[in-house]
Chain A
């Protein structure tokens, strides 16, 4: 590393140092800390050495608990060891943290601080995780900028070595971990000079070693434990001194000075804020601003939070201070105040009089910034304002409007404006158009090639398909500490024209700003295409408007939909950050740097796009009057429920920040069935049905990941009010009609339905029974058809052969329009589950992709039928999902048992016949279920007439007598790794739960890290050199129990087996495990042909299909049934169709050959085993 500037994000800044100074790195993916592990793994895979000349041993563990255990062990083994984590991951490390600290072991855990899940999960940043571990005995050092995350990664390590106290080095998730900023990198020499080799030797000399054996980790009794615990005190006492000596040494070499408590502001301040982390950036700006206006305010930036050194803290505070606001980025319900506040109160109470005199200051405490809530200088000003008021609130919140408990303090955004010499640019783009990538490059271009400072921060929505991104870029002559989003941009770029019709893009524009639009309309015609509110804002704010048809230019340059290079070039032309020629030269250099590794072709296409861009840039003459009849599209459709209109609609519209406390549910409970109101319209092409060719197989609806293509069978009479030419196939006897209909505004355009459609025209083979066609040509007609279709009555479930593919697809899906990727391989299974059982199902969902597309606000795909019945869904955690689901099952059983007990006790009143029928009902078929529902209705009516306590009690419980279907759902990261212990226990419990593993063979949600389900030879993050070992055969492990129903399925290969396995699993009265092959974008495949690709996957033997049904053993049959044929395709040939495998043949051909051969052997061996299994007789005692 040379000592020039680099622009990196906080994760990379910390990881660079952590990698350079450690020997063992135990990792596990968790947002937002995953990139630190990914960097480390990639660097190790590339053979990069640390500063000692050794390539660190980077090992992925099965959970953060496992990582912490491995860290503890490696430390006891004498290695310099680290790990990276956040949030729940940090909580899983707690037991080992106590141990590591109790044994006075030098080590650092680097944390991108993230919200701990409470009423909801949040991936964003606050201090609830780090505050939850403050009692572990770890020292805690907070970095508040990207530079500090870099510097403190080193200093925490050296201070830990010096003090023997382990350090938690943390910085704010996303705001620092993902903010790109310009920093001075530390060179290897800088790092070496800070490290004291003698201290490293001492650490190693304490290692477990049979040459000088010791005993550590004893069990102690009341006689000595206490004293022994106190024996460490002096080490804690020394931490502040040790840290300061490291700070000083560091300052002497780099010039960057830090203290445990840094004071910024007026030397004679009367009011100060005490805070920690990235929020200090906004506070600093506000302090400077207010002081320039004559105020006397300051900030104590807390860096060393534990051990909290009272004297150091107080000595940082000017003697003139009489009011202190302590800001905590966490919430501790029920406490006397949040943790930092309590520490300050204690410090003041204990020592203020000694340090500052007899008059104690007024100390108030406030919460801010939970889950990365915006925290701006205007809010800081409001805090200082509150502090100056006559009776400040002792406890307050800032950044929200709390209309329930009245704790929030108001702020005025006009209180603070950023300086004019800071260029502030905001870009609205789609994930797929490359906007963010280009902007990251722009930050680098400016940061690394000019004297300007540069900052980039990126906001994403929670959708995986059609995600909207907003990039916030600042360029300034001074270091940028603005740790909040841009509010007044002097440059706004809208990279997708339709955003202007559905989002408020321009409220962020400062008067006089430049607006750049990627527009299919030229400068002369674009005005009439803008909505009324856009025209109004352009005129009122006197915006200078430019258009460029970036789509056309990108296509001509061979870049497809990647308009980023064109828009980037136009940005540099208009924003005056750099002279245009120089900017173009630098853009080309950046292109070369980014893409040359991948080949010339893409570099040249980008060059061409750059060269063609400026000629297409046109200035728009802005008329003086608003002329547009067009209105912005509403966020949710007009038929939405009140809650959806009031709350969900605001969130969808990007106005969630404006919702008051009273608008939100108190306990995290939300209505289902809301995705239908969020018409996202992201497809360019949609499937259109040709009823003449259709063979009514149902495959299109089965595979649709978004329930956006549906099949319905209805009485012919219903067609009376059908829209003109409503397509339908009439049954042979003329009584019923069948229609396949697309939901045109909900389809993502993935094309999987068309790919699987087996019906081809006799006259033109390429024409199928469904065909992708441009949405614009069909939207209005299909919208009216869909509206008619959706209101047609649902089929009578009892009349349908639900065990067939076609039959299953006549049932209403209760999982629809999720935010999953276009072509997702997981969601079709969930949708099928809801079609078959959704009206009586409960889902316990492990954290991961399925919990995000299933439960990330604003909307949920889990939905209800016309009776209001549907799947009830909850997510507990990542690691505990099997246990969580089992717990729900236990409660269901207990409620059912109680209902049955009460029912029996009321037999005389209710009537024996009904009681017996209810208790002995066969609920395995839809007919049986319908009959039971009707009996329960009868029972309810009778109970109402009885009126005894027991009857009233039973009427509360009676619905449980309709059999519930318990589903435990999650990905392979959960089932194979972090949740395996629990999963195993639940399988062994014998209880009636259905476990559905959506097996992508990779941690999909966090970006494709290897799991134990990752096949041998596949590359993945954390397995950049190809996964070395055979994928774990989870199915066979479950089969070994004997009394577990197990099915391994792949819908694209054998849909009939899939449907059958769901039925068998659900009806099996014990634990069932379905391993569902789920293709994923992390496989690197063409998602439109992903379902047909599954046929090849199965034919290669990588994923044999089978069902193990213990009931068969009981009936005297072989319980293990192979549903796929002997492999007849070479693994290598199939694997080469997936980038995860093919990439290894490029990066490391020898390794690829070796692993492909081994993988083939795995497959041959597994198949041989399964063939033998198919002949095995079992006599399973547990199965009745």
Chain B
């Protein structure tokens, strides 16, 4: 008996639930091809960073302005180039080329800084042919006067703005640190998000003890990071009726299965791909099929969400967060 591995994410019919998330491998055509060949059901391209584009444009302008027209012997210090490739064009080219070369859906990713930038780049990405767009939103609030409501409203406004000006499906890649994640997920859904990607991993600085300075370095995810994702997908699955993608800490077949059980529509991987290469997709798909077969499942859809908060056996375990040890009941649990 063949197992039906298909799933649906952001309205896209996918051959299986394994999707490489934004990572260096999805930034180049040849590795994208290898990912597709290994069985990836869709790909999420690296993020287009508005801040970086703007920073580079300004730096280049400053470079050419610096000390130019100041000294009689040298009107400038750098040769004028035919092109500086500063704008989003290179990224849009990647989207278009990926669309052309791949048979699987291509999901672009965007990190904006200004409302205008979010919308403009989202439109350009849509025009370039992306099947869907992942909004990579994060703000690090540092001001005691800024309330959680302000932050959340800001997020929703952005989603709305992008929603109004684009037609392709939108996923929001969000962080886990909100007072009420379910409420916010609902707000995002109402603002127009077609899916949520749980969770974004942030660049967090380390400290260089020699030089007493911060040394930002993105660490690869660890398998134990999956726990957080599992909890929240289980909680959200029954209340938020948009796509949910599990990401952060999915390294093995077991990890992927767990994410699907709590209700993920797709499972996303990056670190495992970087560490073990695209072929790991093929391996996981095969192991996943075996696991499902051995347990008599006929499809992925059958098991998806079977351990969501409402469908799981002990949902209260999802809600506990602080006990030193698991509570043991010595009697039959009375319903109060």
Interface residues in chain A, defined as those with a beta carbon under 8 Å from any beta carbon in chain B:
31-32, 34-35, 38, 41-42, 45-46, 123-124, 174, 178, 430-432, 434-437, 440, 458, 460, 462, 464, 467, 469, 558, 560, 562, 595, 597-602, 605, 760, 765, 821, 852, 1004-1008, 1019-1024, 1081-1082, 1084, 1139-1140, 1143, 1146-1147, 1149
Is A174's CB under 8 angstroms from B72's CB?
yes
Pick the 4 closest A-B CB pairs, nearest first. A431-B70, A1007-B74, A599-B57, A436-B69
Is A440's CB under 8 angstroms from B79's CB?
no
User: What residues of chain B lie closer than 8 Å to A852, measured between beta carbons?
Assistant: 73
User: What residues of chain A lie closer than 8 Å to B76, measured between beta carbons?
Assistant: 1007-1008
Asked whether B53 is an interface residue with its Cβ less than 8 Å from the other chain, the reply is yes
Is A1084's CB under 8 angstroms from B65's CB?
no
Asked whether B75 is an interface residue with its Cβ less than 8 Å from the other chain, the reply is yes
In the bound assembly, the distance between CA atoms of A1024 and B64 in angstroms comes to 14
In the bound assembly, the distance between CA atoms of A48 and B61 in angstroms comes to 24
Residue of B nearest to A760 (CB): B212
Is B84's CB under 8 angstroms from A1082's CB?
no
Is B66's CB under 8 angstroms from A1024's CB?
no
Is B67's CB under 8 angstroms from A821's CB?
yes
Is A437's CB under 8 angstroms from B68's CB?
yes
Is B65's CB under 8 angstroms from A1147's CB?
no
Interface pairs (7), CB distance under 8 Å = A431-B68, A432-B66, A436-B69, A464-B71, A599-B56, A1019-B81, A1140-B78
User: What residues of chain A lie closer than 8 Å to B58, measured between beta carbons?
Assistant: 558, 599, 601-602, 605
In the bound assembly, the distance between CA atoms of A1082 and B74 in angstroms comes to 11
User: What residues of chain B lie closer than 8 Å to A1022, measured between beta carbons?
Assistant: 79
User: What residues of chain A lie closer than 8 Å to B60, measured between beta carbons?
Assistant: 598-599, 1139, 1143, 1146
Asked whether B202 is an interface residue with its Cβ less than 8 Å from the other chain, the reply is no
In the bound assembly, the distance between CA atoms of A224 and B24 in angstroms comes to 76
User: What residues of chain A lie closer than 8 Å to B56, measured between beta carbons?
Assistant: 599
A1147 touching B84 in the complex, CB below 8 Å, given contacts A765-B212, A1007-B75: yes
Residue of B nearest to A434 (CB): B65
In the bound assembly, the distance between CA atoms of A124 and B53 in angstroms comes to 41
Question: How far in angstroms is the closest Cβ of chain A from B76?
Answer: 6
Question: How far in angstroms is the closest Cβ of chain A from B31?
Answer: 16
Is A1084's CB under 8 angstroms from B63's CB?
yes
User: What residues of chain A lie closer than 8 Å to B87, measured between beta carbons?
Assistant: 599-600
User: What residues of chain B lie closer than 8 Å to A602, measured between beta carbons?
Assistant: 57-58, 61
A595 touching B61 in the complex, CB below 8 Å, given contacts A469-B70, A600-B87, A1081-B66: yes
Is B61's CB under 8 angstroms from A598's CB?
yes
Of B53, B67, B83, B212, which one neighbours A431 at CB under 8 angstroms?
B67
Is A1019's CB under 8 angstroms from B79's CB?
yes
Residue of A nearest to B68 (CB): A437
A1147 touching B73 in the complex, CB below 8 Å, given contacts A437-B68, A599-B53, A599-B61: no
In the bound assembly, the distance between CA atoms of A649 and B144 in angstroms comes to 56
Is B67's CB under 8 angstroms from A432's CB?
yes
Interface residues on B, range: 35 or more
Residue of B nearest to A124 (CB): B72
In the bound assembly, the distance between CA atoms of A35 and B80 in angstroms comes to 12
In the bound assembly, the distance between CA atoms of A1146 and B72 in angstroms comes to 29
Is A1008's CB under 8 angstroms from B72's CB?
no
Given pairs A436-B69, A460-B72, A1081-B67, 20 additional interface contacts (CB within 8 A): A34-B73, A38-B79, A45-B82, A123-B73, A431-B70, A432-B70, A435-B69, A437-B69, A462-B71, A462-B72, A467-B71, A598-B60, A599-B60, A601-B58, A1008-B76, A1024-B81, A1146-B60, A1146-B81, A1147-B83, A1147-B85
Question: How far in angstroms is the closest Cβ of chain B from A731?
Answer: 28
Is A597's CB under 8 angstroms from B83's CB?
yes
Asked whether B86 is an interface residue with its Cβ less than 8 Å from the other chain, the reply is yes
User: What residues of chain A lie closer than 8 Å to B65, measured between beta carbons?
Assistant: 434, 437, 562
Is B75's CB under 8 angstroms from A35's CB?
yes
Asked whether B77 is an interface residue with its Cβ less than 8 Å from the other chain, the reply is yes
A-B contact count (CB 8 A): 144
A1146 touching B85 in the complex, CB below 8 Å, given contacts A602-B58, A1005-B74, A1021-B78: yes
In the bound assembly, the distance between CA atoms of A1102 and B58 in angstroms comes to 28
Of A597, A1007, A1024, which one neighbours B77 at CB under 8 angstroms?
A1007
User: What residues of chain A lie closer than 8 Å to B4, measured between beta carbons?
Assistant: none
Asked whether B287 is an interface residue with its Cβ less than 8 Å from the other chain, the reply is no
Is A599's CB under 8 angstroms from B86's CB?
yes
Question: How far in angstroms is the closest Cβ of chain B from A769?
Answer: 14
Question: How far in angstroms is the closest Cβ of chain B from A609?
Answer: 13
A1021 touching B84 in the complex, CB below 8 Å, given contacts A434-B69, A467-B70, A598-B61: no
Question: How far in angstroms is the closest Cβ of chain A from B106?
Answer: 21
In the bound assembly, the distance between CA atoms of A437 and B66 in angstroms comes to 11
In the bound assembly, the distance between CA atoms of A765 and B208 in angstroms comes to 12
User: What residues of chain B lie closer than 8 Å to A1140, measured between beta carbons?
Assistant: 78
Of B69, B80, B86, which one neighbours A458 at CB under 8 angstroms?
B69
User: What residues of chain B lie closer than 8 Å to A1081, measured between beta carbons?
Assistant: 66-67, 77
Question: How far in angstroms is the closest Cβ of chain A from B205?
Answer: 13
Question: How far in angstroms is the closest Cβ of chain A from B120?
Answer: 9
Is A1146's CB under 8 angstroms from B86's CB?
yes
Which of B59, B81, B84, B212 has the most CB atoms of chain A within a 10 A radius of its CB? Answer: B81
Is A598's CB under 8 angstroms from B79's CB?
no
In the bound assembly, the distance between CA atoms of A1006 and B75 in angstroms comes to 9
In the bound assembly, the distance between CA atoms of A558 and B62 in angstroms comes to 12
Which of B57, B69, B213 has the most CB atoms of chain A within a 10 A radius of its CB? Answer: B69
Is A1006's CB under 8 angstroms from B85's CB?
no
Asked whether B186 is an interface residue with its Cβ less than 8 Å from the other chain, the reply is no
Is B81's CB under 8 angstroms from A1006's CB?
no
Of B67, B80, B84, which one neighbours A599 at CB under 8 angstroms?
B84
Is B78's CB under 8 angstroms from A601's CB?
no
In the bound assembly, the distance between CA atoms of A1024 and B66 in angstroms comes to 18
Q: Interface readout for B86-119 with A: 1 if CB under 8 Å, 0 if not?
A: 1100000000000000000000000000000000
In the bound assembly, the distance between CA atoms of A694 and B72 in angstroms comes to 41
Is B63's CB under 8 angstroms from A1147's CB?
no
Question: How far in angstroms is the closest Cβ of chain A from B66?
Answer: 7
Residue of B nearest to A1022 (CB): B79
Which of B53, B71, B86 has the most CB atoms of chain A within a 10 A radius of its CB? Answer: B71
User: What residues of chain A lie closer than 8 Å to B82, measured between beta carbons?
Assistant: 45-46, 1147
User: What residues of chain B lie closer than 8 Å to A458, measured between beta carbons?
Assistant: 69
In the bound assembly, the distance between CA atoms of A124 and B69 in angstroms comes to 16
Is A1006's CB under 8 angstroms from B74's CB?
yes
Which of A469, A605, A1143 has the most CB atoms of chain B within a 10 A radius of its CB? Answer: A1143
In the bound assembly, the distance between CA atoms of A437 and B68 in angstroms comes to 8
Residue of A nearest to B69 (CB): A436
User: What residues of chain A lie closer than 8 Å to B57, measured between beta carbons?
Assistant: 598-602
Is B79's CB under 8 angstroms from A1021's CB?
yes
Which of A440, A1023, A1024 has the most CB atoms of chain B within a 10 A radius of its CB? Answer: A1024
Question: How far in angstroms is the closest Cβ of chain A from B266?
Answer: 32
User: What residues of chain B lie closer than 8 Å to A467, measured between beta carbons?
Assistant: 70-71
In the bound assembly, the distance between CA atoms of A71 and B63 in angstroms comes to 35
User: What residues of chain B lie closer than 8 Å to A560, measured between beta carbons?
Assistant: 62
Question: How far in angstroms is the closest Cβ of chain B from A840?
Answer: 32
Is B81's CB under 8 angstroms from A460's CB?
no
User: What residues of chain B lie closer than 8 Å to A38, measured between beta carbons?
Assistant: 79
User: What residues of chain A lie closer than 8 Å to B68, measured between beta carbons?
Assistant: 431, 437
In the bound assembly, the distance between CA atoms of A1005 and B72 in angstroms comes to 10
A436 touching B61 in the complex, CB below 8 Å, given contacts A46-B82, A1082-B78, A1140-B78: no
User: What residues of chain A lie closer than 8 Å to B54, measured between beta carbons?
Assistant: 599, 601
Q: Interface readout for B120-146 with A: 1 if CB under 8 Å, 0 if not?
A: 000000000000000000000000000
User: What residues of chain B lie closer than 8 Å to A1024, measured between beta carbons?
Assistant: 79-81
Question: How far in angstroms is the closest Cβ of chain A from B72?
Answer: 4
In the bound assembly, the distance between CA atoms of A430 and B53 in angstroms comes to 29
User: What residues of chain A lie closer than 8 Å to B72, measured between beta carbons?
Assistant: 31-32, 123-124, 174, 178, 460, 462
Of B53, B73, B84, which one neighbours A1006 at CB under 8 angstroms?
B73
User: What residues of chain B lie closer than 8 Å to A821, measured between beta carbons?
Assistant: 67
Question: How far in angstroms is the closest Cβ of chain A from B127?
Answer: 16
Question: How far in angstroms is the closest Cβ of chain B from A10?
Answer: 13
In the bound assembly, the distance between CA atoms of A435 and B84 in angstroms comes to 24
